[in-house]
Amino acid sequence: MSFEIAIEKQLGDALVSLTLDAGEGATVLFGPSGVGKSSVLNMVAGLLRPDRGRIAIDGETLFGDGIDVPPERRRAGYVFQEARLFPHMRVRANLLYAVRGEAERFEEIIGFLGIGHLLDRWPRTLSGGEAQRVAIGRALLSRPRFLLLDEPLSSLDRARREEIMLAIEHVRDVMRLPILMVTHDPEEAERIGNRVVRM
C-alpha cells in the first residue's frame, strides 16, 4: 500500500505544498505548528479540497485528473488530536457505530487496545489515554484502507503517551495498516515513522 501525494492549497497567506511517494508502514509529517501538516491529512481524507495536484492510495486516484472521491468512500480511518467521541453514547455504542464486518474483529481490536473494561463507561469519565484508545478502536472498526493520525499524543501525559505509542506500533507492525501521521515531536516521529517527511 502506497501514498502518492502531490498537492498545493492556498490557506490565507500560507501555501501548503507537499510531494510525497511513500510505501508501506508509517509515514510521519514532522514540523512546527502552522506549516499545514493537518491540512494535508484533511486533503487526503477528502475534508479539504486541494487547489491542484493528485492524491492516490495504492495506485487508485482519490483526487486529481477530474476525480474527487467523497470522504466516505475513501475508507480512511481518522484519529484526531482530541478523541471526538459521541458524548451521548457509551464506549460500546461509540465503537459499534463504526463496525463494518464480523464480531470477532470487534473482540480482537478491543483486546489489543485493552479497552474491554471501558465498554459500559461514558466518554466524559475516560482519561485522555483511554478516550484516545477508544478513538483508535473506532477508526479501525470501520475497516479502513489506511489510518490518518493527527497529533494523537499531544494532549497526553508520558504514561498515556506510551500506551498510545504501543497501540500505533501494533497497527503498523501487526495489522500492517499504512499510517500517515502528523507530529511536531521528534521522539514520536523517530519511533513511529518508517520515514519522516519534514515540513
Amino acid at 45: A
The residue that leads in pLDDT, 40 or 98, is: 40
| pLDDT for residue 107 | 86
pTM above 0.85, yes or no: yes
pLDDT single digits (tens) 74-91: 999 999 888 889 999 999
* CA-to-CA dists, residue 76 to 32, 38, 56, 90, 95, angstroms: 24, 14, 12, 23, 16
Mean pLDDT of the chain: 90
pLDDT category, 98, cuts 50, 70, 90?
confident
- Give the separation between CA 17 and CA 173, rounded to whole angstroms: 29
Task: Supply the CATH classification number for the domain 3-86+143-198.
Answer: 3.40.50.300
HEC secondary structure over the chain: CCEEEEEEEEECCEEEEEEEEECCCEEEEECCCCCCHHHHHHHHHCCCCCCEEEEEECCEEEEECCEECCHHHHCEEEECCCCCCCCCCCHHHHHHCCCCCCHHHHHHHHHHHCCHHHCCCCHHHCCHHHHHHHHHHHHHHCCCCEEEEECCCCCCCHHHHHHHHHHHHHHHHCCCCCEEEEECCHHHHHHHCCEEEEC
Domain boundaries, the chain: 3-86+143-198
- The answer to whether residues 141 and 106 touch, using CB atoms and an 8 Å cutoff, is yes
| pLDDT for residue 126 | 94
| pLDDT for residue 164 | 87
Sheet strands side by side (includes 179-183): 76-79, 146-150, 179-183, 26-30, 195-198
State the pairing for strand pair 26-30/195-198.
parallel
